Amino acid sequence: MNPEEIYKTLTDKFGESILGFDTELAGDPIIQIVPAAIADVCQYLAETDTLAFDSLMCLSGVDLGAKEEELFVVYHLYAMQHRHSVVLKVSVPKGDAHLPSVSRIWKTADWHEREAYDLYGILFEGHTDLRRILLPDDWEGYPLRKDYKEPDLYRGMRVPY
């Protein structure tokens, strides 16, 4: 199936939760989804035989700029069996960034979500072990956000060099 057909299947199934199909920009076409529905959509994508998305290639948080109101979470999925891929995109407000976790569906999402939480401060509901992964546990702030200001000191050590 190509992304367009997948988009059609998803709109038939989920209706309002699928926000749009974005093909205008260069690169892969993107299916936009309501944050609250992402886990259900992913479950459907993974467990339907005609889709069978058995691997989550990448899960990334995205912040497009300091003035933007939203953060994005992008899911790159691939199905070994049918050899088709799809890109899902979810936008969450910066102030209250939370969405359901997909770590139940693909175990690799566990660490990728922890990384997104670590660097963007996006909370994944239903994640069993949402801790910082790359940064120290007591680090403050979320460094990959565009409005991030690095602290002057970390445990008495100077941070900017």
Interacting residues toward another protein by CB under 8 A: 25-28, 30, 54-58, 60, 62-65, 74, 76, 80, 83, 87, 106-108, 110-112, 119, 132-136, 143-144
Structure tokens at 142: 């979320």
How many CB atoms neighbour CB 40 within 10 A?
16
Rounded Cα distance between 56 and 77, Å, is 5
Longest Cα separation, the chain: 56
**Shortest separation between residue 68's beta carbon and another protein, angstroms:** 10
Quote the tokens at residue 104: 């139940």
**Nearest C-alpha neighbor of 74 from the set 120, 11, 126:** 120
In the complex, minimum distance from the CB of residue 110 to another protein, in angstroms, rounded to a whole number = 6
CB 25 to another protein: min, Å: 4
Smaller CB distance to another protein: residue 16 or 69?
69
Nearer to another protein, 36 or 82 (CB): 82
